[in-house]
Structures are given as C-alpha cells and as structure tokens.
C-alpha cells in the first residue's frame, strides 16, 4: 500500500449493507465485506462491548 495520492482522502461510493443507502467510504469496497454508512458503521461498533467478529 502506498499513500501519497493526489487527494488526501479518496472517497468511494458504496451502498450501505444495513440501510441500503448510497454512501461514501474512505476506503475502496472490495466486495468481500459489507460496507456501512457512517451511521450504521457507528451503530455496529459500540464503544466497548463484546467484540463480535461477525
Ligand atoms: Zn447505513
């Protein structure tokens, strides 16, 4: 992996696997794992609880 692209933060369009809304994520969705929007992502990651690995 090499950083130092033109844009500091490259956003990729994706569809949230939770609410099915179009969103943008700072990483490239590779299709092997579900993508979540910010809200769903935060909802799925509680501050400190059981660490389910899905
Ligand atoms: Zn969502």
Q: What is the pLDDT of residue 17?
A: 94
Compute the mean pLDDT over every residue in the chain, rounded to the nearest whole number.
81
d(CA 42, ligand 1 centre) in Å: 9
| Residues composing the chain | 54
Q: What is the pLDDT of residue 49?
A: 58
CB 35 within 8 A of CB 18: no
Which token pair is 33? 């794992």
Classified as helix, coil or strand, 24 is strand
pTM of the predicted structure, to 2 decimals = 0.59
Alpha-carbon distance of 4 to 52, in angstroms, equals: 33
Q: Positive or negative, the Cα torsion across 22, 30, 33, 6?
A: negative
d(CA 17, ligand 1 centre) in Å: 7
Question: pLDDT tens, position by position, for the chain (54 residues)?
Answer: 565 656 567 889 999 999 999 998 888 888 898 999 889 988 887 766 566 665
d(CA 50, ligand 1 centre) in Å: 21
């Amino acid at each position: 992996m090499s950083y130092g692209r033109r844009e500091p933060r490259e956003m990729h369009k994706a569809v949230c696997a939770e609410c099915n809304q179009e969103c943008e994520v700072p990483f490239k969705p590779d299709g092997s794992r579900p993508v979540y929007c910010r809200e769903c992502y935060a909802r799925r990651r509680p501050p400190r609880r059981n660490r389910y690995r899905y």
